[in-house]
Amino acid sequence: MLKKKIEDAFNEQLNAELYSSYLYLAMAAYFEAQNFKGMANWMRVQTAEEYAHMMKFFNYIMERGGRVALKQVDEPQFEWDSPAAAFRSAHEHECKVTGLINGLMDLALSEKDHAASAFLQWFVTEQVEEEATVLDITELLERAGDQAGVLFMLDRELGQRPAASGADAGA
Ligand code: FEO
């Protein structure tokens, strides 16, 4: 059985993961509007990954006998100044999520909930990968600046990102 404190914190994180999915969906729409189809594809895949993260919390809360409580999801940003600015804000967002996951891990440890901390370990590792990937893309885009040819090539490359597999998608 989940302690109430952990149940509440996990429900908050479920909401944060759903917001992440929503934010990247807003970025996908922005890139579509800018005709950067490859970057839009990358964000569509990211949206699905974040939805899968949300479902991991959804399933785990129930598996431990807790109660899922869905809250309102904040409205994401609508517009960005450039592709680089959008990815820069995605990176800032991931750093924020890392802080939230670390806070949950601190809580699980202080409450001596070893099962919850084992569950959270997957997210600790995932955040390292997510931060690094988004930062790499951000830096490439910032270096590209307004060079249309380079942006075109990067867009094509980001369009190659495959859809998440069943396991990654939390299926
Ligand atoms: Fe679910 Fe990108 O953190």
Question: Where are the domains positioned within the chain?
Answer: 4-68+79-169
4-20 burial by CB neighbour count: b if 16+ within 10 A, else e? Answer: eebbebbbbbbbbbbbb
Neighbouring residues of 76: CB distance < 8 A, sequence distance ≥ 6:
19, 22, 23, 25, 26
Report the pLDDT value the prediction gives residue 1, as an integer from 0 to 100: 86
The whole-angstrom separation of Cα 85 and Cα 41 is 17
Report the pLDDT value the prediction gives residue 35, as an integer from 0 to 100: 97
Q: Ligand 1 site: residues with CB under 6 angstroms?
A: 17, 20, 50, 53, 94, 97, 130
Report the pLDDT value the prediction gives residue 171, as an integer from 0 to 100: 39
- pTM, to two decimals: 0.94
Long-range CB pairs of 120-129, under 8 A, 24+ apart, other chains included: 122/56, 123/53, 123/56, 126/53, 127/94, 127/97, 127/98, 127/101
Pair of tokens at residue 111: 């409450």
Closest CA to ligand 1's atom 2 = 94
Q: Per-10-residue mean pLDDT for the chain, 171 residues long?
A: 96 98 98 98 98 98 97 98 98 98 98 98 97 98 95 96 66 39
What residue has token string 């597999």? Answer: 165
**Ligand 1: distance of its center to the CA of 82 in Å?**
22
Report the pLDDT value the prediction gives residue 165, as an integer from 0 to 100: 64
Task: Name the residue type at position 46.
Answer: Q
**Ligand 1: distance of its center to the CA of 101 in Å?**
9
CATH code 3.90.1860.10 for 4-68+79-169: no
